[in-house]
Amino acid sequence: MALDTTTSDVGVLLREWRTNRRFSQLDLALEADISARHLSCVESGKAHASRDVINRLASALEMPLRERNALFLAAGYAPEHRETSLDAPEMARIRQAIDLTLKHHEPYPAFVVNRHWDVVGMNDALGRVFSHLRDGGPKHGNVVRQIFDPEDMRPVLANWEEVAGDVIRHLHAEVRAAPADHKARTLLKEALAYPSVPEAWRTREPAAHPSPLLTAHFRRGAIELIFFSTLTTFSAARDITLDEIRIESMFPANEATAAFCKKLSA
Protein backbone atom coordinates (compact mmCIF):
# COMPACT_ATOMS: atom_id res chain seq x y z
CA MET A 1 0.00 0.00 0.00
CA ALA A 2 1.33 3.45 -0.89
CA LEU A 3 2.52 5.64 1.97
CA ASP A 4 1.90 9.34 2.41
CA THR A 5 5.10 10.73 0.88
CA THR A 6 5.87 12.81 -2.19
CA THR A 7 7.23 11.61 -5.48
CA SER A 8 9.72 14.48 -5.71
CA ASP A 9 12.00 12.70 -3.22
CA VAL A 10 12.31 9.66 -5.44
CA GLY A 11 13.35 11.88 -8.34
CA VAL A 12 16.19 13.36 -6.30
CA LEU A 13 17.43 9.91 -5.28
CA LEU A 14 17.22 8.57 -8.82
CA ARG A 15 19.20 11.49 -10.22
CA GLU A 16 21.88 11.07 -7.55
CA TRP A 17 22.22 7.36 -8.21
CA ARG A 18 22.10 7.78 -11.98
CA THR A 19 24.83 10.42 -11.82
CA ASN A 20 26.99 8.29 -9.53
CA ARG A 21 26.62 5.34 -11.89
CA ARG A 22 27.38 7.61 -14.87
CA PHE A 23 24.10 6.75 -16.61
CA SER A 24 22.24 9.14 -18.87
CA GLN A 25 18.45 9.07 -18.63
CA LEU A 26 18.38 7.12 -21.88
CA ASP A 27 20.96 4.61 -20.64
CA LEU A 28 19.02 3.96 -17.44
CA ALA A 29 15.68 3.80 -19.22
CA LEU A 30 17.01 1.19 -21.65
CA GLU A 31 18.58 -0.84 -18.85
CA ALA A 32 15.33 -0.77 -16.83
CA ASP A 33 13.15 -1.36 -19.91
CA ILE A 34 11.04 1.77 -19.48
CA SER A 35 10.66 4.84 -21.68
CA ALA A 36 13.10 7.70 -21.28
CA ARG A 37 10.14 10.08 -21.17
CA HIS A 38 8.60 8.24 -18.22
CA LEU A 39 11.92 8.26 -16.36
CA SER A 40 12.28 11.99 -17.01
CA CYS A 41 8.79 12.59 -15.59
CA VAL A 42 9.52 10.45 -12.53
CA GLU A 43 12.74 12.35 -11.84
CA SER A 44 11.01 15.70 -12.23
CA GLY A 45 8.05 14.65 -10.05
CA LYS A 46 5.54 14.91 -12.91
CA ALA A 47 4.79 11.16 -12.86
CA HIS A 48 4.38 8.53 -10.18
CA ALA A 49 6.41 5.33 -10.66
CA SER A 50 4.83 1.97 -9.93
CA ARG A 51 6.48 -0.45 -7.50
CA ASP A 52 7.56 -2.59 -10.47
CA VAL A 53 9.24 0.37 -12.17
CA ILE A 54 11.01 1.34 -8.94
CA ASN A 55 12.25 -2.23 -8.59
CA ARG A 56 13.54 -2.30 -12.16
CA LEU A 57 15.30 1.04 -11.74
CA ALA A 58 16.92 -0.11 -8.50
CA SER A 59 18.13 -3.30 -10.17
CA ALA A 60 19.50 -1.40 -13.16
CA LEU A 61 21.40 0.90 -10.79
CA GLU A 62 22.65 -2.10 -8.76
CA MET A 63 21.51 -0.47 -5.54
CA PRO A 64 22.23 -2.20 -2.22
CA LEU A 65 19.14 -3.41 -0.35
CA ARG A 66 19.21 -0.61 2.23
CA GLU A 67 19.21 2.01 -0.50
CA ARG A 68 16.45 0.15 -2.36
CA ASN A 69 14.29 0.44 0.75
CA ALA A 70 14.98 4.18 0.85
CA LEU A 71 13.97 4.44 -2.81
CA PHE A 72 10.70 2.58 -2.17
CA LEU A 73 9.92 4.88 0.77
CA ALA A 74 10.69 7.97 -1.30
CA ALA A 75 8.32 6.70 -3.99
CA GLY A 76 5.55 6.22 -1.44
CA TYR A 77 5.76 2.45 -0.93
CA ALA A 78 6.54 0.23 2.03
CA PRO A 79 10.12 -1.07 2.18
CA GLU A 80 10.68 -4.43 0.51
CA HIS A 81 13.68 -5.78 2.42
CA ARG A 82 13.98 -6.43 6.14
CA GLU A 83 17.03 -6.12 8.38
CA THR A 84 17.56 -9.03 10.75
CA SER A 85 20.13 -9.12 13.54
CA LEU A 86 22.76 -11.83 13.22
CA ASP A 87 21.79 -12.89 16.75
CA ALA A 88 18.23 -13.73 15.65
CA PRO A 89 17.25 -17.43 15.74
CA GLU A 90 16.51 -17.47 12.01
CA MET A 91 20.14 -16.49 11.36
CA ALA A 92 21.54 -19.58 13.09
CA ARG A 93 22.60 -21.27 9.83
CA ILE A 94 24.20 -18.04 8.64
CA ARG A 95 26.20 -17.74 11.85
CA GLN A 96 27.33 -21.34 11.43
CA ALA A 97 28.49 -20.60 7.88
CA ILE A 98 30.42 -17.52 9.04
CA ASP A 99 32.01 -19.38 11.96
CA LEU A 100 32.98 -22.25 9.66
CA THR A 101 34.60 -19.85 7.18
CA LEU A 102 36.58 -18.12 9.94
CA LYS A 103 37.67 -21.38 11.54
CA HIS A 104 38.75 -22.97 8.27
CA HIS A 105 41.03 -20.02 7.55
CA GLU A 106 43.20 -20.80 10.58
CA PRO A 107 46.08 -20.32 11.21
CA TYR A 108 45.71 -17.13 9.17
CA PRO A 109 43.69 -14.07 10.26
CA ALA A 110 40.10 -13.53 9.12
CA PHE A 111 37.36 -11.20 10.29
CA VAL A 112 33.82 -10.05 9.51
CA VAL A 113 32.81 -6.42 8.96
CA ASN A 114 29.53 -4.65 8.27
CA ARG A 115 28.94 -1.86 5.81
CA HIS A 116 30.52 0.75 8.07
CA TRP A 117 33.70 -1.27 8.64
CA ASP A 118 32.75 -2.35 12.19
CA VAL A 119 34.30 -5.70 13.12
CA VAL A 120 31.44 -8.04 14.06
CA GLY A 121 33.41 -11.29 14.18
CA MET A 122 36.93 -12.70 13.88
CA ASN A 123 38.91 -15.91 14.24
CA ASP A 124 41.51 -16.67 16.90
CA ALA A 125 44.37 -16.14 14.44
CA LEU A 126 43.54 -12.46 14.07
CA GLY A 127 43.76 -11.97 17.83
CA ARG A 128 47.05 -13.87 18.03
CA VAL A 129 48.74 -12.00 15.19
CA PHE A 130 47.49 -8.52 16.05
CA SER A 131 48.36 -8.97 19.74
CA HIS A 132 51.98 -9.51 18.69
CA LEU A 133 51.87 -6.37 16.55
CA ARG A 134 50.25 -4.20 19.23
CA ASP A 135 50.05 -4.99 22.93
CA GLY A 136 46.44 -5.88 23.69
CA GLY A 137 45.50 -5.95 20.01
CA PRO A 138 43.59 -3.20 18.17
CA LYS A 139 42.26 -0.29 20.20
CA HIS A 140 39.14 0.21 18.07
CA GLY A 141 36.48 -2.19 16.83
CA ASN A 142 36.32 -0.37 13.49
CA VAL A 143 38.82 -1.08 10.70
CA VAL A 144 38.98 2.54 9.49
CA ARG A 145 39.83 3.80 12.98
CA GLN A 146 42.36 0.98 13.44
CA ILE A 147 44.19 2.08 10.29
CA PHE A 148 44.03 5.86 10.77
CA ASP A 149 44.42 6.32 14.53
CA PRO A 150 48.12 6.87 15.44
CA GLU A 151 47.39 5.16 18.77
CA ASP A 152 46.07 2.00 17.13
CA MET A 153 47.48 -0.22 14.33
CA ARG A 154 48.77 2.65 12.21
CA PRO A 155 52.34 2.73 13.67
CA VAL A 156 52.91 -0.95 12.76
CA LEU A 157 51.52 -0.61 9.23
CA ALA A 158 54.72 -0.07 7.25
CA ASN A 159 52.96 0.84 3.99
CA TRP A 160 50.35 2.94 5.77
CA GLU A 161 49.92 5.56 3.04
CA GLU A 162 49.24 2.91 0.41
CA VAL A 163 46.70 1.02 2.55
CA ALA A 164 45.07 4.17 3.95
CA GLY A 165 44.80 5.67 0.46
CA ASP A 166 42.94 2.57 -0.72
CA VAL A 167 40.56 2.83 2.24
CA ILE A 168 39.91 6.52 1.51
CA ARG A 169 39.04 5.67 -2.11
CA HIS A 170 36.56 3.06 -0.88
CA LEU A 171 35.02 5.53 1.59
CA HIS A 172 34.63 8.18 -1.11
CA ALA A 173 32.96 5.58 -3.36
CA GLU A 174 30.59 4.52 -0.57
CA VAL A 175 29.58 8.11 0.12
CA ARG A 176 28.93 8.71 -3.59
CA ALA A 177 26.94 5.49 -3.87
CA ALA A 178 24.75 6.32 -0.87
CA PRO A 179 24.55 10.11 -0.42
CA ALA A 180 22.00 9.74 2.38
CA ASP A 181 24.29 7.49 4.45
CA HIS A 182 25.33 10.00 7.10
CA LYS A 183 27.34 7.42 9.06
CA ALA A 184 29.55 6.69 6.03
CA ARG A 185 30.05 10.41 5.43
CA THR A 186 30.95 10.93 9.11
CA LEU A 187 33.41 8.03 9.00
CA LEU A 188 35.13 9.57 5.96
CA LYS A 189 35.40 12.95 7.70
CA GLU A 190 36.74 11.29 10.84
CA ALA A 191 39.41 9.41 8.87
CA LEU A 192 40.52 12.60 7.13
CA ALA A 193 40.69 14.46 10.45
CA TYR A 194 43.36 12.19 11.96
CA PRO A 195 46.89 13.67 12.24
CA SER A 196 49.32 13.56 9.31
CA VAL A 197 46.71 12.53 6.76
CA PRO A 198 47.87 14.00 3.40
CA GLU A 199 46.16 17.34 2.83
CA ALA A 200 45.42 16.44 -0.78
CA TRP A 201 43.14 13.60 0.36
CA ARG A 202 40.77 16.14 1.85
CA THR A 203 40.03 17.64 -1.55
CA ARG A 204 40.60 14.71 -3.90
CA GLU A 205 40.94 10.95 -3.76
CA PRO A 206 44.43 9.42 -3.63
CA ALA A 207 45.81 8.18 -6.94
CA ALA A 208 45.35 4.47 -7.58
CA HIS A 209 48.47 2.36 -6.99
CA PRO A 210 49.80 0.56 -10.08
CA SER A 211 50.49 -2.77 -8.30
CA PRO A 212 48.12 -5.60 -9.33
CA LEU A 213 47.27 -6.52 -5.70
CA LEU A 214 47.31 -4.45 -2.53
CA THR A 215 49.25 -5.99 0.35
CA ALA A 216 49.43 -4.89 3.99
CA HIS A 217 52.97 -4.75 5.43
CA PHE A 218 53.14 -4.95 9.23
CA ARG A 219 56.36 -4.32 11.14
CA ARG A 220 57.13 -4.27 14.85
CA GLY A 221 60.71 -4.74 15.90
CA ALA A 222 61.99 -7.97 14.35
CA ILE A 223 58.46 -9.01 13.28
CA GLU A 224 57.69 -8.35 9.61
CA LEU A 225 54.45 -9.72 8.15
CA ILE A 226 52.93 -9.22 4.72
CA PHE A 227 49.34 -10.19 3.86
CA PHE A 228 46.94 -9.90 0.94
CA SER A 229 43.21 -10.33 1.37
CA THR A 230 40.12 -11.79 -0.26
CA LEU A 231 36.52 -10.72 0.44
CA THR A 232 33.60 -13.14 0.76
CA THR A 233 29.99 -11.98 0.51
CA PHE A 234 26.61 -13.72 0.51
CA SER A 235 25.18 -14.16 -2.98
CA ALA A 236 21.52 -13.35 -3.69
CA ALA A 237 21.04 -11.82 -0.24
CA ARG A 238 17.47 -10.72 0.51
CA ASP A 239 18.14 -9.36 3.99
CA ILE A 240 19.94 -6.05 4.54
CA THR A 241 22.26 -7.50 7.19
CA LEU A 242 23.47 -10.25 4.85
CA ASP A 243 23.72 -7.85 1.93
CA GLU A 244 26.14 -5.66 3.89
CA ILE A 245 28.34 -8.29 5.56
CA ARG A 246 31.72 -9.24 4.14
CA ILE A 247 34.34 -11.67 5.40
CA GLU A 248 37.96 -10.62 4.87
CA SER A 249 40.46 -13.46 4.79
CA MET A 250 44.13 -12.51 5.10
CA PHE A 251 46.64 -14.73 3.30
CA PRO A 252 50.42 -14.72 3.86
CA ALA A 253 52.25 -13.10 0.96
CA ASN A 254 55.53 -14.87 1.74
CA GLU A 255 56.87 -17.94 3.54
CA ALA A 256 58.10 -15.96 6.56
CA THR A 257 54.58 -14.67 7.26
CA ALA A 258 53.08 -18.13 6.82
CA ALA A 259 55.64 -19.65 9.18
CA PHE A 260 54.99 -16.95 11.82
CA CYS A 261 51.22 -17.60 11.77
CA LYS A 262 51.73 -21.38 11.99
CA LYS A 263 54.16 -20.98 14.89
CA LEU A 264 51.66 -18.85 16.82
CA SER A 265 48.96 -21.44 16.19
CA ALA A 266 51.15 -24.22 17.52
pLDDT digits (tens, 9 = 90+) for 119-133: 999 999 999 999 999
pLDDT digits (tens, 9 = 90+) for 5-43: 344 589 999 998 998 889 999 999 999 999 999 999 999
| Rg of the Cα atoms in the chain | 21
Q: Which residue intervals of the chain bear CATH 3.30.450.180?
A: 89-265
Q: Which residue intervals of the chain bear CATH 1.10.260.40?
A: 8-74
> pLDDT tier at 4 (50, 70, 90 boundaries)?
very low
33-47, 95-109, 181-195, 200-214: range with lowest mean pLDDT: 200-214
Task: Share the mean pLDDT of the chain.
Answer: 91
> pLDDT tier at 174 (50, 70, 90 boundaries)?
confident
CA 174 vs. chain centroid, Å, equals: 7
| pLDDT number for residue 3 | 35
User: Does the domain spanning 8-74 belong to CATH 1.10.1040.20?
Assistant: no
* Mean pLDDT along residues 165-172: 92
> pLDDT tier at 47 (50, 70, 90 boundaries)?
very high
CATH of domain 89-265: 3.30.450.180
| pLDDT number for residue 85 | 94
| pLDDT number for residue 28 | 96
Judged against a pLDDT cut of 60, whether residue 1 lies above it is answered with no
Residues of the chain with pLDDT > 90, as a percent, come to: 80
Judged against a pLDDT cut of 70, whether residue 141 lies above it is answered with yes
More confident residue, 205 or 144: 144
CA–CA distance, 36 with 135 (Å, rounded to integer): 59
